[in-house]
Structure 1
Amino acid sequence: MVSQQLSAVPETVPRGIARTDLEPRTKRALEEAMAVSLLEKGGRYEVRTASGSWYEVDIVAEACTCPDWKYRTPEGGCKHLRRVDVELKLGRVPRPDGRLPDQARHEP
Structure 2
Amino acid sequence: MSEAAPTPDGQYGERAAKALTESMTVLDDQTFSELQDEEFLVVSPTGTYRVDAIAETCDCPDALHRAPDEGCKHRLRVAFARGERPIPGWAIRSAIDKDLGQHLSADPRIATADGRTEVFEP
**What TM-score bracket applies, with the shorter chain setting the length?**
0.5 to 0.7
- Aligned-CA RMSD value: 2.2
- Structure 1: state its 5+ residue gaps: 1-17, 95-99, 103-108
Deviation string for 1:18-74 (max 9, x for gaps)?
6224211111111100000004342100001123x1000001110000000001111
Determine which of 81, 85, 88 is the counterpart of 2:82.
Answer: 88
Instruction: Report the Cα offset of residue 101 of structure 1.
Output: 3.4
- Local SS of the residue matching 1:77: coil
Verify the 8 A CA contact 1:33 1:50 in the aligned structure 2.
yes
Within a 5 Å distance, the mapping from 1:1-108 to structure 2 comes to 19-20=5-6, 21=10, 22-39=12-29, 40-51=35-46, 53-89=47-83, 92=101, 93-94=103-104, 100-101=105-106
- Structure 2: state its 5+ residue gaps: 30-34, 87-99, 108-122
Identity score, percent: 33
Query: How many residues are aligned here?
Result: 79
TM-score with structure 2 length normalisation?
0.57
TM-score with structure 1 length normalisation?
0.64
Deviation string for 1:65-101 (max 9, x for gaps)?
000000111111100000000000089354xxxxx33
Match of 1:14 in 2: none
More helix by share: 1
